[in-house]
Amino acid sequence: MRITKIIIYQTNIPLKFPFKIALGTSITAENIFVKIETDQGIHGWGEGSPYTPVVGETQKSCIAVAHDIARFLLGKDPLNIKEIAAGLERIFPFNPTARSAFDIALYDILGKTANLPLYRLLGGQERDLFTDYTIGLGTPEDMAEKVEVAVYEGFSIIKIKLGTTIGDDTQRIHSVYNAIKDGVLLRIDANQGWDKVEAVKFLKAIENLPMQFCEQPVPARDLAGMRYIRTKVVIPIMADESLFNTRDAVTLFFNGICDYFNIKLAKTGGLTEAIKLVSMAETLDIPCMVGCMNETRLGLMAAAHLAMAFPIIRFIDLDSALMHSIDPIVGGIKYIKGQVLVPDDPGLGVDVDSEFLDDLERVKVE
């Protein structure tokens, strides 16, 4: 089997409402779709969702790099995924999101070739996945109102974006707590917004709340600060922006920096490195979360397959598509009261609506 054609789509999907975190505000999901075609009539879909403050990439940079990646891939065997991934990381080391779109598409082809859903091909089996619902930064009243709606719709896990001043964040978390019902769990994500002293003060003050963990309380490079926080509080600390690959995981683990890993395909460069990272987490007994940037159900589908295949992924954060004003994906995951249902179709189990694609700018390489 050989790769004969690649199409790169510029994909802009407006959000239902502005989504604000400590690193900035998003109003549109500015992603790329990649379709890889082969000489045996099998094609694969992938998606890259760059978030510039984290990965240093933009939609435009992803498209430019994707053009070069496509030329690199033409004529290659799409099932030779490990060698391709190694080559792409060597040539494009600072473009994980662009690489991720192609890597995901190759696994889609692999699953279709084997006529198996990807999670089965990875050795997984059916299991229940429950995602959180993320509440962006806003006034305490606005965030509480959004929480009430999410809980009413059946979500039992709520993720709260924080990372501003301790005073404002304290008002937000207590307003949110007053809006939840018994049995609803909370997660908080500061997106690097605090310093270590502020983080300890805040986390100690909320230890009595039903809190699962705190994500990335301090800047990604402040590993000493994150280790300091971990030694001072009982709420578990999760690494997100500090963790891209297995090299980062080794540093985090052996220096006692965090309790949990947050794995996102846009950071790892796709499924190949993510599989290595989760396998390492299994060995080290580090519970993981699979998270998202601003993917549609196409990109989320790849992450869901990863979660199905590895029980060490105990936390699911795959809700970005619920914030999109349109859904161009055919097939794929479904949501029922916070549960993520993964179909058993071969490969990723998704396609993209042809009418939606007709209106997109694209680059063809063949």
If one looks up domain 120-351 in CATH, what number appears? 3.20.20.120
Among candidate residues 35, 146, 159, 161, the one labeled active-site is 161
Among candidate residues 37, 215, 317, 319, the one labeled active-site is 215
φ, ψ of residue 191 in degrees (nearest 5): 50, 45
Using CA atoms, how far apart are residues 58 and 26, in angstroms rounded to an integer?
A: 13
Stated pTM of the model: 0.96
Structural fold of domain 3-116+353-365: Enolase-like; domain 1 (3.30.390)
Question: What does each of the 366 residues of the chain score in pLDDT, given as a tens digit?
Answer: 999 999 999 999 999 999 999 999 999 999 999 999 999 999 999 999 999 999 999 999 999 999 999 999 999 999 999 999 999 999 999 999 999 999 999 999 999 999 999 999 999 999 999 999 999 999 999 999 999 999 999 999 999 999 999 999 999 999 999 999 889 999 999 999 999 999 999 999 999 999 999 999 999 999 999 999 999 999 999 999 999 999 999 999 999 999 999 999 999 999 999 999 999 999 999 999 999 999 999 999 999 999 999 999 999 999 999 999 999 999 999 999 999 999 999 999 999 999 999 999 999 999
CB 351 within 8 A of CB 328: no
Residue 29 in tokens? 């999901």
CB 291 within 8 A of CB 259: no
Any catalytic annotation for residue 35?
no
**CATH 3.30.390.10: which residues of the chain?**
3-116+353-365
DSSP assignment letter at 213: E
Among candidate residues 264, 267, 273, 345, the one labeled active-site is 264
Any catalytic annotation for residue 142?
no
In the sheet that 24-38 helps form, which strands lie side by side, from edge to edge? 43-48, 24-38, 3-21, 362-365
Any catalytic annotation for residue 215?
yes
Any catalytic annotation for residue 240?
yes
Among candidate residues 240, 241, 273, 295, the one labeled active-site is 240
**CATH 3.20.20.120: which residues of the chain?**
120-351
Cα 100 to chain centroid distance, Å, stands at 11
CB 268 within 8 A of CB 240: no
Any catalytic annotation for residue 189?
yes
Strand partners, 48: 32
